Amino acid sequence: LNPHLARQIFANDQKVLQSGTSQEFEEQFQLPDGIQTYLSVKFPLFDAAGTPYAICGIGTDITARKQAERALQELNDSLEQRVSDRTRDLLVYQENLRAMTSELVVTEQRERRRLSTELHDYLAQLLVVCRMKLAQAINEEKAAGLKTNLKEIDQILSDSLSYTRTLIAELSPSILYELGLVPALKWLGQQMERHGLRVQVQHGEQAIELSEDQAIFVFQAVRELLFNIIKHSGVSEAIVSLDRHADQDLKILVQDAGKGFHPSPISTDYSKPGRFGLFSIRERTEALGGHFYIESAPGKGTQATLVVPLQPVSPTVVSNSDSKDIQKTLDPVAQGGSRKKVVRILLVDDHAMIREGIRTLLEHQEDFVIVGEAKNGEEA
């Protein structure tokens, strides 16, 4: 026998003799066709005095079984490694997907804001100037026979202007950038009334400062949740509450007392209406380092909780403000009665077309004198 194998077999024999009991071992033997493995059952033989004097053993060749076990173990190890590799790859893909989702949301919002700015700076201003021109024409005596038609055109322009401003607000609500998240959510609540949903916005006295991307996401998420309430809850009231936890995170609750549902399938079943929207909110929240969850039951209403970490903000900050969300439609300048004193007017507006339209209206008034124009306060 191979010296190493012989020493192992001898040691096993000694264990049997010393213990005086039968024992089972796996032993290897060097044979002409290679090393074979045997399952050996060994037991001592005793003399008349009860002293073990020899060993008897029965060996069963288990070489094939051991080879199969080794092959199975190697296969298991290989599968575990492959599963580990796949899991690591999936985690990387998931992180990349979240990053891409966040980037797409930001890109979409930038494009919305660009389109909104284009509509506001060009189309809306053209409509305003047209209404100014019409207002001037309507009040001219020479156009007396055309007043009815001109008024109808003015109404069409008014409707077009209202629609354009609504579209601008839906594309990218300027109030979010100008006044902050809380006024924007209150404005959103007012917009929801057009869809039959009264929204109460509750918030503390602490200022809420978010980066622009965070504020956009929270606004979009709340809007998505409110539309879900309109579509599925069967109620006409909802509550949106904001709670800032020190400097760590912002907690937003969107609640209703409606039909409710079983929330468990949300993470796996996206075929039902509204489910993919909830999944999208969850993915975007996790991409920001926060979390999102739903508490609901049939007949018990629904509470959606959104937690966003308060991160150091960049120079582009959207902050909370108590300013009133006012952006009124600019009606044609009303024609007043005669004035005794001459009023000197400096026209200040960042749109040349608006200044031109107002100038055209005022130049026909004897008691108004245009002394100059400026595009901003500093220039004025």
Instruction: Assign residue 341 the CATH number of its domain.
Output: 3.40.50.2300
Residues 192 and 305 in one domain: yes
Residues 338 and 222 in one domain: no
What does the pLDDT read at residue 364? 63
Q: Could you say which of 275, 292, 321 is where a domain stops?
A: 321
Residues 273 and 376 in one domain: no
Residues 268 and 290 in one domain: yes
Residues 262 and 342 in one domain: no
Residues 363 and 268 in one domain: no
> At 17, which amino acid appears?
L
CATH number at 213 reads 3.30.565.10
Which residue segment(s) compose the domain that 350 sits in? 333-380
Half-sphere exposure of 253 (CA within 13 A, CB side): 13
What does the pLDDT read at residue 276? 47
CATH number at 24 reads 3.30.450.20
CB atoms within 10 A of CB 191: 17
What does the pLDDT read at residue 72? 93
Number of H helices and E strands in the chain, helices first, is: 9, 12
CA distance 158 to 153: 9
Whether 175 maps to a domain, the answer reads no
CA distance 29 to 31: 6
Residues 277 and 349 in one domain: no
Q: Could you say which of 321, 341, 358 is where a domain stops?
A: 321
Whether 343 maps to a domain, the answer reads yes
3-state secondary structure of 50: coil
| Distance, first Cα to last Cα, the chain | 108
Residues 349 and 239 in one domain: no
CA distance 304 to 132: 47
Mean pLDDT per 10-residue section of the chain, whose length is 380 residues: 83 90 88 84 90 90 90 92 90 80 74 77 77 74 69 80 78 81 92 92 84 86 92 93 85 93 57 58 84 90 92 50 38 41 79 70 71 79
What does the pLDDT read at residue 254? 96
> At 48, which amino acid appears?
A
Whether 37 maps to a domain, the answer reads yes
What does the pLDDT read at residue 328? 38
Are 355 and 128 in contact by the 8 Å Cβ rule? The answer is no
For the question of whether the overall pTM of this predicted structure is more than 0.75, the answer is no
Residues 184 and 314 in one domain: yes
Residues 294 and 238 in one domain: yes
CA distance 150 to 329: 19
What does the pLDDT read at residue 98? 74
Helices (H), the chain: 3-19, 63-118, 124-138, 147-171, 174-178, 181-192, 212-232, 275-287, 352-363
Going by the DSSP 8-state scheme, the letter that residue 364 receives in this structure is: T
Are 221 and 214 in contact by the 8 Å Cβ rule? The answer is no
CA distance 333 to 361: 8
Whether 22 maps to a domain, the answer reads yes
Residues 189 and 244 in one domain: yes
What does the pLDDT read at residue 267? 44
| Beta pairing class for 237-245 and 198-203 | parallel
Residues 363 and 283 in one domain: no
Whether 171 maps to a domain, the answer reads no
CA distance 341 to 182: 45
What does the pLDDT read at residue 79? 92
Whether 142 maps to a domain, the answer reads no
Q: Could you say which of 35, 61, 87 is where a domain stops?
A: 61
Whether 361 maps to a domain, the answer reads yes
3-state secondary structure of 346: strand
Instruction: Count the domains in the chain.
Output: 3
Are 121 and 168 in contact by the 8 Å Cβ rule? The answer is no
CA distance 44 to 17: 6
CB atoms within 10 A of CB 330: 19
CA distance 25 to 38: 8
CA distances from 243 to 200, 215, 285 (A): 14, 14, 17
What does the pLDDT read at residue 266? 46
What does the pLDDT read at residue 241? 95
Q: Which two tokens stand for residue 287?
A: 């991409």
CA distance 154 to 132: 9
What does the pLDDT read at residue 287? 79
Whether 130 maps to a domain, the answer reads no
Residue 9 CA, distance from chain mean position: 68
